[in-house]
Amino acid sequence: MNNSLNKIFFIAGKIILLTLFFFALTAQASDEWPGKKTFVIGFAQDNMANDWRMAQVMDVKKELEKYPFITFFYTDGKGQAAKQVLDIEDMIQQKVDILITSPMDAQAMTPVISSAFQKGIPVVLIGRTITTQDYTCFIAPDNRQIARQAAIYMAQKMEGKGRILMLKGVDGATSTIYRTQGFLQQIKSYGGIEIAVVKTANYLRNDAIMVMEEVLEKDQKFDAIYAQSDSMATGARMALKMAGKDPKKFLMVGIDYISEARQAIRIGEQSASFTYPTCGKQGAQAALKILKEEKVPKQIRIESIMITKDNVEKINPIF
């Protein structure tokens, strides 16, 4: 009998605690986030087939799932600006409380993002921006500065002479534009270095494999590879190996600093990478501040660190 009563009291106690916890969360929602008790945040992503893009969404989700009164959902543009535009139009129709996005094509996507902003939807841009100031907050490392540092590092390692193969990201994305501009502006000061080949691989390793196979089949000559993402650098290494070439014989620099890059740097198949955090956590934190009606900066710069064999064991990859 006593055991049965103890079980009943134990279960009743748990129910009371859970009820109090629920009311505490509800009170938190109404005290800290004025005006509403529930919120909807939508993330219009570029391409979930890209491992970095997937990690970016998961970082936002991880930060927001701490708040049960916030509904978070995301869409997949499947690497098509037109699809990403439609996804944002749908979010405008749904009247989301916050729009988070990383626009695939700055020119093509500025009108719809501006429309959301002008209709009163706060817009948080992470990693990439648009051509106007019609957004609430933009969060990213400095792509031009990363590219300039990459150019300086490569020029020094090449002793001011040689041929570089450049693997570009998505055409039209501000990350690609700035990573190209910054690199070319810096490298032109080294008269003995030539940009011998430029290929677009859309930040995808499979695309990098395909364009590298084309370069190798045509026997286009290069001494070094500047890959605007480590996923593309990984694809380049795979293509070199499939062609019977040793990646260690080529100077290779990437951006992002993912796990594959760390391992490649460890074994000498990649010389350097630059950290490029997904900014997902920071984007979610900015969204939370906006919901609380707190001020957020128009632009937040995230630090980028150059990774070489000297510090590869001291700094963890972004994923």
CATH code, domain with 154: 3.40.50.2300
**Euclidean distance between CA atoms 309 and 291, whole angstroms:** 43
Is residue 200 in some structural domain? yes
pLDDT at 5: 47
129 and 180 fall within a common domain: no
CA gap 290, 251 in Å, rounded: 44
Are the beta carbons of 188 and 148 closer than 8 angstroms?
no
Q: How far apart are CA 161 and CA 141, in angstroms?
A: 29
Q: Mean per-residue pLDDT for 142-171? A: 99
In terms of phi and psi (left: phi > 0; alpha: psi -120 to 50; beta: otherwise), the region of 172 is: left
Q: Would you mind telling me the total number of residues written for the chain in this entry?
A: 319
Q: Do 153 and 198 have their domain in common?
A: yes
Q: Is this model's pTM higher than 0.85 or not?
A: yes
Burial class (CB in 10 A: 0-12, 13-18, 19+), 181: middle
SS3 category, 125? strand
| C-alpha span between 123 and 187 (Å, rounded) | 35
Q: Looking at 77-187, which runs of residues are DSSP E strands?
A: 98-101, 123-126, 137-140, 161-168
Q: Select from 147, 220, 153 the least CA-distant residue to 185.
A: 147
129 part of a folded domain: yes
Is pLDDT above 80 for 226? Answer: yes
Q: Does residue 315 fall inside a structural domain?
A: no
| Residues of the domain holding 229 | 143-275
Is 314 domain-assigned? no
- Higher-confidence position of 8 and 141: 141
Burial class (CB in 10 A: 0-12, 13-18, 19+), 19: exposed
**Reduced to 3 states, what is the DSSP secondary structure of residue 98?**
strand
User: What three-state secondary structure class fits 24?
Assistant: helix
For the packed helices 230-242 and 205-217, what is the interaxial angle rounded to 10 degrees?
40
Same domain, 101 and 249: no
Q: What is the mean pLDDT of residues 166-185?
A: 98
Is the pLDDT at 7 greater than 70? The verdict is no
Distance CA 247, CA 129 (A): 34
Write out the two tokens for 283.
């984007």
| φ, ψ for residue 75, nearest 5 deg | -125, 160
State residue 36's pLDDT score.
Answer: 72
Structure confidence at residue 9 as a pLDDT band (50, 70, 90) = very low
Q: Which amino acid is at 268?
A: G
147 shares a domain with 123: no
pLDDT of residue 69: 95
- For the chain, the domain total comes to 2
Which residue in this structure is represented by tokens 């959301």? 116
* Position 12 in a domain: no
Q: What is the pLDDT of residues 103-153, one digit of tens each?
A: 999 999 999 999 999 999 999 999 999 999 999 999 999 999 999 999 999
Confidence category of residue 12, pLDDT binned at 50, 70, 90: very low
Q: Read off the pLDDT band of 31 (50, 70, 90).
A: low
